[in-house]
Amino acid sequence: MNKIDKSEEDWKRELTEEQYYILREGGTEHAFAGKYNNNKDDGNYYCAGCGNLLFDSKTKYDSKSGWPSFYQPIDKDKVIVQLDKTHRLIREEVLCANCGGHLGHVFNDGPQPTGKRFCMNSAALDFKKRDPK
């Protein structure tokens, strides 16, 4: 995978204000406000910053958390999980492995087969419907 290396000025030009806040500054959108929280369409989710394929809708489920949730990424090498100690919390942050953009957090309260809940920000994602066959 080719790592993306852009200046902050480039990111600010290419992303919306909300996308920049989430992807580049580690922000979070309000619960139940994201456009993909209730999306039930069949397709794939990509990083809104660089287009990296991240999640398949087949692994999306309603966690009732207010954010789009998945029980696994499309491939473990597509994301980086690292310790996040911000806001007086200890969590596992999920970053895009391609551009380093903040996507959300992963928790150990998801469904089987993984037991994981990848809780993502809609603004950090783009969705493309799968072509019907």
Give 47's Cβ-side CA count (13 Å radius). 27
Q: Residue 21 burial (CB < 10 Å; 0-12/13-18/19+)?
A: middle
Contacts 24+ apart (CB under 8 A), 14-21: 14/49, 15/48, 15/49, 16/123, 18/123, 19/48, 19/49, 19/123, 19/124, 21/123
| Residue 24 C-alpha from the chain's centroid | 13
Distance CA 64, CA 130 (A): 25
Can you read off the two tokens belonging to residue 54? 């991240």
Question: Does residue 119 carry a catalytic annotation?
Answer: yes
Q: Which of 47, 50, 96, 119 is catalytic?
A: 119
Active site residues: 119
